[in-house]
Structure 1
């Protein structure tokens, strides 16, 4: 039986990081599909991460790329298509294109491979039999600008999740987007995502003192001073995308608050969390 790599624990005063499923359990299952999120929940993920884009008819859907070539084999743009048009597409087959030729493959519910609306995902989380949090990233630039955040806050409000204590938090690489969220819903937690370490000194004077900071694991590896600065400033840190034991160790050594992973079950196993 394969043994999980040994993980050196964080300091006793620190709790372990929350395990967040990146686009669902997306290492093995097509990202942003209901199947990927149900799998992540079954594996014990404590939070789900998703990207949202706005359709031409005003629906928030869980899709990462602006165009659909990678995940739905079409050159269409999410922002120019209605939800009904997107619902005709297959968002799952790209992950396992030979599945139809496998006689032993389990039957797959086609509904779980279609475009997933944010509302459907929130309903799934709200109805689940344990507490699960949401980390929702708004994608920019987009032709709809601030309408994305307004629609998002309105949707969260339908669940009573647009205020302090909400299980949802909003993430973005866009400072303007998060500033907009805090204006619309001051009680919501926000995560300022950082793609490049050298941007942090520029952003630092402009982000709120209570904002969470979200660097990528590669930036923490390549620029260890970034992690030290964030820890020294007592910032809560959520790291993406953490998929290996070495990645996790970097996060444990820094005492981060959350790890966002394509492999939530693997992270939980490494942390010694039983299913």
Structure 2
């Protein structure tokens, strides 16, 4: 990756084509050359960190229930991929799928996938992990996440990982538990920056949404001029990538990492 262009981060894997947060989506993202993988993390009832965005299972597993109320063994029985292509079973020409690629993905498995890929390929790949709030488990999510990262030696300044959240309190918690770990303060609404700009740490990365930057051009320039590195989500179009380049954004989080890499290579 050129130091003059942003890092391309696969949002929930190669999620435009493949069901989000599945191992299949992340393997595809690695194969096309994504330089980092983004994931959301939640805690199961029996204390396992899993890569799932929604609090409920209705959208991605097409069943009732919440992630926090179910044990990992129960989640492992669910299909997290069919919703993306519901007609696949009726297609006689569709290739047979490895069901293991479509099941719930644990944070541990994703970490090991990134670690093993980097070792085999000699190419550094990073992880951008978002902790979801509010949650019934509160700060236990960050505590268990930092413990897991510590197990792999991934809590130093040079570790291939950063922790993101819309919750300022959650990131403060991460900073206390692992002072050298990079953190990203996500921002969804423009009005939040006036408050957050006074309380974020000097080394914190700022993560605004692309829609917010589009709607408030001056705000993007203010953040860019604040001295904070900027990582932007979710960047899928050429015009949005151009806006990020103009603002000196250091990472673009995209459902279409292949498209971003193609545009950056032109």
Q: Do these two structures clear the TM 0.5 threshold for a shared fold by scoring above it?
A: yes
How much has 1:214 moved relative to structure 2? 0.2
3-state DSSP class of the match of 2:130? strand
The equivalent position to 2:102 in structure 1, one of 113, 123, 142, is 113
The count of residues paired between Structure 1 and Structure 2 equals 261
CA distance in 1, matches of 2:157, 2:210: 28
Per-residue CA deviations over 1:170-229 (Å, capped at 9, x if unaligned) read 000000000000000000000000010110011111100110000000000001111110
- Ranges of 4+ aligned residues in structure 1 off by more than 2 Å: none
The equivalent position to 1:93 in structure 2, one of 57, 66, 82, is 82
How much has 1:163 moved relative to structure 2? 1.8
Listed as ranges, the matches of 1:66-77 within 5 Å are 66-77=55-66
The reply to whether residue 103 of structure 1 matches residue 92 of structure 2 is yes
Listed as ranges, the matches of 1:129-208 within 5 Å are 129=121, 130-208=123-201
CA distance in 2, matches of 1:211, 1:51: 19
Per-residue CA deviations over 1:56-111 (Å, capped at 9, x if unaligned) read 00000000000000000111100000000000000000000000111111221100
Listed as ranges, the matches of 1:1-275 within 5 Å are 15-128=4-117, 129=121, 130-272=123-265
3-state DSSP class of the match of 2:60? helix
3-state DSSP class of the match of 1:193? strand
Which residue in the other structure is 1:9 paired with? none
Higher RCO (C-alpha 8 Å, min separation 6)? 1
Q: CA RMSD in A?
A: 1.1
CA distance in 2, matches of 1:226, 1:258: 18
CA distance in 1, matches of 2:107, 2:6: 25
